[in-house]
Structure 1
Amino acid sequence: MRFADLAALREPSRRIGTVVLGAVAVLGVIAAPAQASSWSSSLTGAGPGFESRRWADSGGTTNIKFTGCSDDYSNKGVNVLLRKDTLGPDPYYVNAYFTNCFASSTSTSSGTWADHGSGNYYFAVNDALVGVHVWVKSLTVTY
């Protein structure tokens, strides 16, 4: 066989190899294991019914942690309510009452909510308390 014939045979093999590698790369992205996501922030004077930013959750448990809490009435507690953003009234889930984060600027309180399916979520603070504002040095939401 001549050299030109060998080169002609190699070209389709290269194309097939490129297609196979591309397909493997795409499948690797699609089939990548689910990773927990999170975001962090703080609260400054969050009043009754304050709503956090929304986050897209594909399902699984949600953990909300507050560190270093204070309020303007020495209540030493803050209600945290996980809600799901939907058309119509947003459903809400178990209300957590955080108290330990008021002990010091490094003390934490956290709550964990069960899987409520995929969707956009947020939390509200002090839904039922009138006129109480809360400050949180650091908060983390993991989902």
Structure 2
Amino acid sequence: MSTARLTAMRESGRRVAVVGLGAAAMLGLVTAPAHAASWSSSLTGAAPGFESRRWTDSGGTTTIKFTGCSTDGSVSVTNVTLRKDTVGPDPSYVRASFTQCHVSSTSTSTGTWSDHGSGNYYFVVNEGATGIRLTVKSLTVSY
């Protein structure tokens, strides 16, 4: 085989390899599974209207779980509202009433919100209530 022919075959093979790798990379970007994320914390003496830390969600279901809820009074319900951080008034989504977490220090209440698109989110506890201080032994936000 001549040197020119071998060089042409090598160039052709390189192009095919580059195109193949590029296609594989694009396919990987397009079909990569969504990665779920979460964070955990606790609350001590959270006043009505307390806002959680913000998190960035690329879209999908959001689940908030409280374990071991107690208040400084006789209230045995905690209202949790998911909100989206936006310019102007932040939209709020369905309010979840957590009651089971008040039964014992190991009891859990869970709220699940459907996909509201990508963006920065946070939750608010007992929005609009007065005088209720909330303690939550552990909480987890999954998105």
CA displacement, residues 62-116 of structure 1 (integer Å, 9 cap, x when unaligned): 2111011111113122110111111111111221111111111211001122322
Which stretches in structure 2 are left out of the alignment for 5+ residues?
none
For 1:1-143, what aligned pairs fall within 5 Å after superposition? 1-2=1-2, 6=6, 9-143=9-143
Instruction: Give how far 1:132 is off.
Output: 1.6
Task: Please tell me the root mean square deviation across aligned C-alpha atoms, in Å.
Answer: 2.1
Give the number of equivalent residue pairs. Answer: 143
Identity of aligned residues (%): 67
Letter in 2 for 1:136: V
Q: Which runs of 4+ in 1 moved over 4 A?
A: 2-5
Q: Find the aligned partners of 1:119 and 1:2 in 2 and give their Cα distance.
A: 60
Q: Find the aligned partners of 2:37 and 2:20 in 1 and give their Cα distance.
A: 31
Which stretches in structure 1 are left out of the alignment for 5+ residues?
none
Q: Find the aligned partners of 2:84 and 2:35 in 1 and give their Cα distance.
A: 21
Structure 2 length-normalised TM = 0.84
Q: Find the aligned partners of 1:42 and 1:31 in 2 and give their Cα distance.
A: 36
Q: Find the aligned partners of 1:138 and 1:3 in 2 and give their Cα distance.
A: 71
Please give the secondary structure, in 2, of the residue aligned with 1:76: coil
Given the superposition, is the C-alpha separation of residues 9 and 119 from structure 1 closer, same or farther in structure 2, using an over 3 Å criterion? same
Of 102-111 and 18-27, more deviation after overlay is shown by 18-27
Structure 1 length-normalised TM = 0.84
Q: Find the aligned partners of 1:78 and 1:140 in 2 and give their Cα distance.
A: 15
Letter in 2 for 1:32: A
